[in-house]
Structure 1
């Protein structure tokens, strides 16, 4: 008869883990807490939603065209994604929709894979974002340094401005051409007998938007400028390009027809879109929370999930991937928004506008939208921030400039990767310079033989970037006994511990006795597993106090001296 199978008892931490997982999943969904600020501030939120909706209308149309799609894709995205992200996102005041950064990354995708691929990429990127939120990856934004964020934003501003040159001249840019090259080619080949008209409209819109921003900041300058430009173009009979027909209703949602074999080339672009959506949305939410603490805290994982659901929904309706929009979110906060009702109102207002005024919107000159976007780029980067960044250090300035260059001449994701890598390199170099080894006097009255004892204090951070440099200082010791004082070490990584163990082995092989004093509790595990502690001649050569370590060293020197005399 076989022995009964024994069931392994469950880990005592399993219930706790299950509770944490349940709380995490529950925190990703809308709840009663979302409605509390609505009850208190619904009047202000309705007004804020109308305000941001008026601001968002021309931007949505412009970003749709700038992405290589059309104006309808921009307005559909603003409505659908704006509504879904408002309900499921992790910020009470985030306004989502098409953005300049997303338009920049979508333009080459449209050129390479066609407009139909954007719908598939939107859904794929949305699924990636939902998975990222479920895996608690929403806090990725904290790892992006300040110079990278500013350089990334400045680079996007330059690209958006360059992308408007063909629209401002009613020219045609080759699909897939870099923005700078396309702008130069269009300017060189422009028919100036006609191009002066759209260019005049663009310049006039920029001037009017900036004037209203300065002297009447509460007036929606972009909308006023676009309306006036459209009216003048109609009355004067200007021969310039217009938006064209817009749908008066949202299209019916539908799953795109997908060939599984055609998905592989879209995986890379989908991951790039997802990364950009997460970064831009989390940055926007963080900026909003900093503008007014009364808007509530940001839930990063929920924000990522909400943006993922928004992009999926936008794709199903034929739109494009969406992100949190920093400019529109800032307008929302300044207008007094406190709850999600404001963002929902903004989406509903846009839906009402296309239902009533789609025909009128179709008459808007493309050059007027170019002026709106050029005006937007002028305020994406604050001069005071740039001046402070350029003054703070040469490494920060170099990271800022390199990130801009990579954004303009390569692509957005590469720019973030290179910028973060460069910032990390400079940070590690600076950190390694704080690590030092210095020889100190032994405590108490001097005794015979003290000159044969080296008390070496290692301070700073013992990690892979500094290990080799300071190990040479330790290995060069000519003493009979070396006391390594490690209590001043703030950081010890496996590489640093391993190299220190190798130096201890070298010293012991030369007949030098090594004592370790003050190994901090948080460093014991890595020191033990890396072999550093095992490199000591005896386990008793570890001490907690300097007095005990020095006393043992002096006894050792005295004993060695007596043995030599005997």
Structure 2
């Protein structure tokens, strides 16, 4: 079969749902996953108290059934460590035969959930609860399996395992300890070996080496898995339940919910690792349900999508679901023909494998992330709930704490009252609901009667009670002689209700359309053409400084340029300065370290930091009329030396890594260059424009756009602006400092064109000489050294 199409460097080829043409990728990947799945499945069966072959049956069924019917292309399913605790409890209460029935019934529930298309709802569960559940399970596994590593038997609960652990340590079973320690060392050290060896998953060599060492040393007395003479004897129908039907029903629901949640979260995580089709979560849920029905009827453990095996599958190069299915077939072959080998594995080795798996369920990265988002209490509550009660109750405890945290945050809206000069400043942030009304009322009482107040609302919701609280305070404050200037940083929740506009619903389309324009990029006049900035409302109807509302002190109702600048500076001082102060303080202390020299036109509509999403200290900006770069031969002219000096300083002193020349649409300089009679151009401007007076062929600016990289539809001036960018890049390379840096690979140069009307940026692709959207120009290409730009002008 032909090879799949090539893809950009550094990206995986797109995955396919079917893939006979990808056998050379899927076959080796399936073998790698098989090597991971066998020891993990045996260990999970051991930890669950189930027959060891139940883990292999679940792995085979999960690979084949879920692989064929599921909604994820590369997810691999099988028995999961996340269910060991609840499975062990159910086996202890109802026996293995009933456990198989519970697994099959849980599969039916999963299919029902998939058919009802509620799978996405499972992803709404707080990550704190999910990670807490997995961490609690991980701790439970570690506490139980440490006893097995030490040659003892685990107790019935995590608390009992913890309390009896010192006694197991003191018992000192040296042989079991040695095999367990050897396995752990191999599991941790194997990934650090040379790539040729570490390509084999660590679990397999760890178990193989431990088994061989035990055999060589004659440690036959170590406990080993009990396997029937004919492994197929473990296949059988589940037993009918008796007695505690409500408890069995709760077990079915628990298995179904936990298995579904773990499968969906694993599928979403795996989707982030490849560029192929995204998971159909409802189909995935139905595929998992079908696999659990088959596993339960065949005498296997519950099946879920497993992140360890799935990520291994992706990293091993799998392209289609064929890999997951093949891995299941290899397990069937192993069970039928090599099942006897399982009896040779010492239990301390399998227990040690599970100890490492359990520890890895306590992801420190997740803990740091939850702490950053202030969700750690829910995580801790879930962990303790799982350890002290059981899995389902622990999850419910975590969900309860999550709801309490949400209520707490609603009641703890941030309200700050401070005095700034002769005005008072009140800032309210968060969601304003009836729960936060008492705190808001208490804070507003700190504002003196008759004071001038700046009220800043940085809120994402405002309910009726909170609105009444604010409105009553406003009317009372104004009646007693005070003034209030209102600014709403997000949506006009307050203004729309005060003006009897339709009430906005949080997240509604109307609310989204009424988002306030951020002051840092909106022009001084409001978007509606008014002179008053659209985000500020004076409650008394007048602007600061006079009685005509414009704030310039002249009483004429017009806003002068000086007044607009003053307002802009005031807004910066009040709102923006506190936000950027940490960045500017660092730059002030350590000096500027820009990575780019950005050469742009002086046109006021071109804002380099805006169109590059950069901030202070990123761009060393050089602006002039027409974004021109005089050639080095002319740079000695007094009028041109500042450009040469800026280029030289950027390259030699600041050591910038890239230089960009940015042209734009509607450029007045380009329009002037196309004029037949230039006598109306001021003399200094005319001399300066000589640097952009390209000797263009007639076709360069003819209406169909020929000769300018397919710029049909552009005006002659805009086509000239693009050609001008290319010419200025050529001029740039005449400067010795730039040419030397480019030749040495220290600096990359590129061209850019900003279309003002559409607010779109186009980059110059030197391989084609065309300007194209950033998504169509590979960064690896357009950032490369450009020694010959002339094709762009041909």
Q: Normalising by the residue count of structure 2, what TM-score does the alignment of the two structures yield?
A: 0.53
1:402 corresponds in structure 2 to 381
Q: Structure 1 residues 547, 196: CA separation in 2 closer, same or farther (over 3 Å shift)?
A: closer
8 Å CA contact retained: 1:486, 1:517? no
- Give the secondary-structure state (helix, strand or coil) at the position aligned to 1:339: coil
1:207 corresponds in structure 2 to 185
Q: Distance in 2 between matches of 1:304 and 1:254?
A: 23
2:110 corresponds in structure 1 to 129
Q: Distance in 1 between matches of 2:537 and 2:190?
A: 74
1:301 corresponds in structure 2 to 282
2:68 corresponds in structure 1 to 87
1:490 corresponds in structure 2 to 460
8 Å CA contact retained: 1:119, 1:319? yes
Q: Which of 292, 295, 315 is equivalent to 1:311?
A: 292
1:411 corresponds in structure 2 to 390
Q: Which of 519, 529, 541 is equivalent to 2:497?
A: 519
Q: Distance in 2 between matches of 1:471 and 1:500?
A: 11
Q: Distance in 2 between matches of 1:486 and 1:523?
A: 20
8 Å CA contact retained: 1:173, 1:183? no
Correspondence 1:470 to 2:440: yes
Q: Distance in 2 between matches of 1:257 and 1:384?
A: 44
* 1:316-360 CA-partner distances (Å, limit 9, x unpaired): 111121111111111111111122111111111100001111112
Correspondence 1:99 to 2:80: yes
- Give the secondary-structure state (helix, strand or coil) at the position aligned to 2:360: coil
* 1:231-282 CA-partner distances (Å, limit 9, x unpaired): 33334143111112244437556354345x6422212222222221122111
RMSD: 4.1
Correspondence 1:71 to 2:52: yes
Correspondence 1:287 to 2:257: no
Q: Structure 1 residues 506, 133: CA separation in 2 closer, same or farther (over 3 Å shift)?
A: same
* 1:87-106 CA-partner distances (Å, limit 9, x unpaired): 22221111111111111221
Q: Comparing both structures, which one devotes a greater share of its residues to helix?
A: 1
Q: Distance in 2 between matches of 1:276 and 1:101?
A: 8
Q: Which has the higher contact order (CA 8 A, sep 6+)?
A: 1
Correspondence 1:43 to 2:24: yes
Q: Which of 316, 327, 330 is equivalent to 1:346?
A: 327
Correspondence 1:153 to 2:153: no
2:143 corresponds in structure 1 to 162
Q: Structure 1 residues 255, 410: CA separation in 2 closer, same or farther (over 3 Å shift)?
A: closer
8 Å CA contact retained: 1:462, 1:497? no
Q: Structure 1 residues 503, 40: CA separation in 2 closer, same or farther (over 3 Å shift)?
A: same
Correspondence 1:257 to 2:240: yes
Q: Structure 1 residues 508, 187: CA separation in 2 closer, same or farther (over 3 Å shift)?
A: closer
Q: Which of 371, 394, 397 is equivalent to 2:352?
A: 371
2:512 corresponds in structure 1 to none
**1:497-516 to 2 correspondences below 5 Å:** 497-498=464-465, 500=467
2:94 corresponds in structure 1 to 113
Q: Structure 1 residues 147, 459: CA separation in 2 closer, same or farther (over 3 Å shift)?
A: closer
* 1:436-495 CA-partner distances (Å, limit 9, x unpaired): 59899xxxxxxxxxxxxxx99977423344244335668999999xxxx99975324xxx
* 1:352-377 CA-partner distances (Å, limit 9, x unpaired): 00111111222221111112112223
8 Å CA contact retained: 2:98, 2:238? no
Q: Structure 1 residues 184, 460: CA separation in 2 closer, same or farther (over 3 Å shift)?
A: closer
Q: Distance in 2 between matches of 1:65 and 1:240?
A: 15
1:272 corresponds in structure 2 to 254
Correspondence 1:185 to 2:164: yes
TM-fit CA distance, 1:382: 4.1
TM-fit CA distance, 1:155: 2.5
Q: Structure 1 residues 318, 439: CA separation in 2 closer, same or farther (over 3 Å shift)?
A: same
TM-fit CA distance, 1:66: 0.7
Q: Structure 1 residues 436, 134: CA separation in 2 closer, same or farther (over 3 Å shift)?
A: farther
Q: Distance in 2 between matches of 1:546 and 1:232?
A: 78
Q: Normalising by the residue count of structure 1, what TM-score does the alignment of the two structures yield?
A: 0.73
Q: Structure 1 residues 123, 498: CA separation in 2 closer, same or farther (over 3 Å shift)?
A: farther
8 Å CA contact retained: 1:311, 1:321? yes
TM-fit CA distance, 1:182: 2.8
Q: Structure 1 residues 357, 191: CA separation in 2 closer, same or farther (over 3 Å shift)?
A: farther
Q: Which of 275, 290, 311 is equivalent to 1:330?
A: 311
- The structure having more radius of gyration, on CA atoms, is 2
- Give the secondary-structure state (helix, strand or coil) at the position aligned to 1:490: strand
Alignment gaps of 5+ in structure 2: 1-13, 420-424, 481-493, 507-533, 542-794
